[in-house]
Amino acid sequence: MSLNRARVLDVDPLLDDPKTRIVVCCGSGGVGKTTTAAALGLRAAERGRKVVVLTIDPARRLAQSMGIDSLDNTPRRVKGIEGDGELHAMMLDMKRTFDEIVEAHADPERAATILNNPFYQSLSAGFAGTQEYMAMEKLGQLRARDEWDLIVVDTPPSRSALDFLDAPKRLGSFLDGRLIRLLTAPAKLGGRAGMKFLNVGMSMMTGTLGKLLGGQLLKDVQTFVAAMDTTFGGFRTRADATYKLLQAPGTSFLVVAAPERDALREAAYFVERLAAEDMPFAGLVLNRVHGSGAAQLSAERALAAAEDLDSAAAENLDEARIVDQGDGKAGLRNSPDTYDSSESPASETPAPDGSDEGSPAATDRIAVTDEHQTATTDEDRTAATDTDRTVEQLTSGLLRLHAERMQLLSREQRTRDRFAALHPEVAVAEVAALPGDVHDLAGLRDIGDRLAANRPELPETTLEPGA
C-alpha cells in the first residue's frame, strides 16, 4: 500500500475544535517535535485560540524561533501574532517544578528542610524519569488553571518516546514504593518504638545500604523521606490523575517522525502503545520529506546519461591532446635553413617590383604571422574543447546528484509504504524538508501552512441534469 493512498491528516479541524484542549507531540529524538509543537501552537493562536506551548527541549530553539530572549517555568506571551488569539510559551524547569510541589504540600519549615536536603537536590536535578514526571505535573497544573483554550506539549527528548508515558509511573512507584516506606517507618513510629524498630528491624538493612551508598547518603535519604512523608501519597495520585487526563477525549496525540527506518519503527511502536493504553491518537506528522522537481527522470536514466557524458568528455580530452602535440609552422622559424645557413635560400631574393617580398625580413614576418594564426586557432580550439568538457563534467555531476536524490526518495518511499501497510488507519501529514533551520515566526508559520496543506481530497460529485 502506498502512503499516497493513506488517510490524510488535516490539522486545522483538530486545532479549531474547542473540545481539543491538549495536543501532545511525541516521537523519538531529533525528528522535529519542538518545531512541530511551536508551529501548531502558532497556527492555533492565529486562528483565534488562546494557546500555551510547553517545551522540554534543552536546545532552546523554541525561544529563538518565537523571538523571546529566554523561556522559563512561567508562560510568557509571544509578540507578533497575527489574528485574535494569543500565544504563550514556556520551558519546563524540572527542578523548579519539583520545588513547587514541595512548597505546595509542606509547611514552610518542612519545605526548607526538604529543599536543602542533598538527596532531594540530586533527585530533583537528574533522577531517571524526573523530567518526564515533572512534564506531566506541569501539564496537570496548566490544565487545572483553565486559563488557556489549548495546551501544546513538546515531550522530552528521551532515548525512547515511550519514556513520556512510562517514567511518571516509575517515579511514582519509587516514591511510594516499599523501600521508601521502610526508610520512612522509623520516623513514623517515633520515640522508643521508632528506635527499637531502627535498632532491630533496620540495623541489617541500614548496615548493608550504608556500605553500598555510604553512611552520609543513607542519612540524607532517611531525612528526605521523613520530611516528605506527607507528600508521598500525592505523587502517585497526581501521576494517575494526569495519566487519565491524557486519556480524556479533549486530548490528542500527534506522533512526529522522519521518513527513516528507525524513526518510523519507533513511531509504529508508539502508535501501537497508544492504542493499547486507550490514548486518543490523531495521526502522524512525517517531517523532513525529500522531493524533486524532476521526479520523471529516474536514477537509472540519470546515471546512464552521466556515464555517456563522462565518455564523451574523455574522447574530447584525447582529441585536445592530439591538437596540443601539433607544432603548426613554428618549425620555419627554428629551421637551420633560416638561421644557421650562410647562404640565403632562393625565396629570400628581392621582389622584382622593389618590395621586400621574399627578403629575409618578409619571410620572418610571414612565418611569425602563420605561426600566430596557427597558435590562435589551436588555443581557440583547445579553449572550446575545455569549455565543452567543463560543461559535460558539470552536467554529469548534476545528473549524479539527481540520481542520489532519487535513490533517497525511493528509500524514503519504501519506508513510508511499510509503515502505511502496517497501519493503514493512521492519518498522515507530510512536511517537506527545508533548506535551513526554522529561526523565527515566519518559519514557524510556513511549517504550519505546510501541515495544513495536507488536506483530504474532497470526493467528486456529479450533478444531475437540470440541477
What DSSP line would sit under 192-216, residue for residue? Answer: HHHHHHHHHTSHHHHHHHHHHH-HH
Q: Which of 14, 12, 89, 104 has the alpha carbon at shortest distance from 50?
A: 89
Query: Do 242 and 139 contact (CB within 8 A), yes or no?
Result: yes
| Residue 120 predicted with pLDDT over 50 | yes
H helix intervals, 248-294: 261-276
Q: Which of 190, 153, 141 has the alpha carbon at shortest distance from 279?
A: 153
Rounded CA gap, 287 and 451, in Å? 10
Which residue's C-alpha cell is 514526571? Answer: 133
Instruction: Tell me if residue 292 falls in helix, strand or coil.
Output: coil
pLDDT digits (tens, 9 = 90+) for 178-195: 555 555 555 444 444 444
User: Cell numbers at residue 58, please?
Assistant: 534543552
For residues 63 and 59, the model is more confident at: 63
Rounded CA gap, 242 and 171, in Å? 14
- pLDDT at position 371: 53
Least confident of 68-77, 293-302, 350-359: 350-359
AA identity, residue 307: E
What letter would DSSP give residue 322?
H
* pTM for the whole structure: 0.72
Other CB atoms within a 10 A radius of the CB of residue 462 amount to 5
- pLDDT at position 357: 52
pLDDT digits (tens, 9 = 90+) for 321-360: 444 444 444 444 444 444 344 444 444 445 555 555 555 5
pLDDT digits (tens, 9 = 90+) for 218-255: 667 767 766 665 555 566 777 778 888 888 999 999 99
